[in-house]
Structure 1
Amino acid sequence: MKYTINLFGHNTDCILSIEDGKLELKIPDEHQKTIESYLSRVLTNYDSSGISKKDLDLEAMVKKAIEIEHNLGSHMKEPKLKLPYELKPEVKEKLIESASIQDISATQLLIKMIESKYQEVMNN
């Protein structure tokens, strides 16, 4: 069954399955790459000691994110960014409406779309 979960303040699609009475959660590779990219951006805002190059693997980032969220008592949030360019009003309205439907900010939606396109291009 397809399902969307919130990991560390980031909504991601996953597959839920039940085998032998056990619930399993599987996150497709492309969504794992998106989570990895998201964590590399967000963790630097929450970790005052800084993230070193050795900490940039997915496992270490997930452990750090869990630790941070336990200390926060809530989900991390991606910092709000002021976009360095202007959008046509009709495009901006569509972007905001699409983001609202997905319960994310317009900036997060743009980042998600750019990451998706980047992965598509890099895989070809």
Structure 2
Amino acid sequence: MKYSINLFGYNLDCQLSVVDGKLNIDVLEEEQRALKQYLIRVLPKYGREASNASSLESLLELSLMAEKTLEGRMAEPKLKLPYEFQPEIKEKLIEAAALQDLSATQLLIRLIEKKYQEVMG
């Protein structure tokens, strides 16, 4: 079953399955890379140093520690992009973001990250 989960303020798609009464959550490598990049970008906001060399496991541990010290949940930094879009493009971006339960900025960041991974990957 395909499902979207929120880890540390980041929504990612996964596959849920139940085998012999045990729940398994499978996350595609592409989604894991995107989560890693997100955590590298967000953790410094919460006083945790992260680098590209950090493993996903160590980033998840840092994220758990960060959330334990917060009274809430981690969230992606909000930033205002210094770009002006044509009104119809802006409407499409906002509509697409709303369908994915994201802000337009978050969607734009994800699109840029995916394209970057395609080009550099």
Does the alignment reach a TM-score above 0.5?
Answer: yes
Residue in 2 that maps onto 1:67: 65
Residue in 1 that maps onto 2:34: 34
Gaps of 5+ in 1: none
Residue in 2 that maps onto 1:109: 107
Q: Contact 1:95 / 1:106 at 8 angstroms: preserved in 2?
A: yes
Residue in 1 that maps onto 2:83: 85
Q: Name the aligned partner's letter for residue 18 of structure 1.
A: V
Q: When the two structures are superposed, what TM-score results if normalisation uses the length of structure 2?
A: 0.91
Q: Name the aligned partner's letter for residue 19 of structure 1.
A: V
Q: When the two structures are superposed, what TM-score results if normalisation uses the length of structure 1?
A: 0.89
Distance 1:68 1:52, change over 3 A: closer
Deviation at 1:58, TM superposition (A): 1.2
Q: Name the aligned partner's letter for residue 61 of structure 2.
A: K
Deviation at 1:103, TM superposition (A): 1.1
Q: Name the aligned partner's letter for residue 12 of structure 2.
A: T
Deviation at 1:74, TM superposition (A): 2.5
Deviation at 1:55, TM superposition (A): 7.0
CA separation in 2, counterparts of 1:95 and 1:81?
Answer: 16
Q: Name the aligned partner's letter for residue 15 of structure 1.
A: Q
Residue in 2 that maps onto 1:18: 18
Residue in 1 that maps onto 2:2: 2
Gaps of 5+ in 2: none
Deviation at 1:64, TM superposition (A): 0.7
Which stretch of structure 1 is more off in the superposition, 62-71 or 111-120? 111-120
Q: Please list the CA deviations of residues 28-49 of structure 1 after superposition, one character each: whole Å capped at 9, or x if unmatched.
A: 10000000000000001011xx
Residue in 1 that maps onto 2:93: 95
Which stretch of structure 1 is more off in the superposition, 66-75 or 22-31? 66-75
Misfit runs of 4+, over 3 Å: 52-55
CA separation in 1, counterparts of 2:11 and 2:84?
Answer: 26
Q: Contact 1:55 / 1:61 at 8 angstroms: preserved in 2?
A: no
Residue in 2 that maps onto 1:57: 55
What SS is found at the alignment partner of 1:5? strand
Residue in 1 that maps onto 2:44: 44
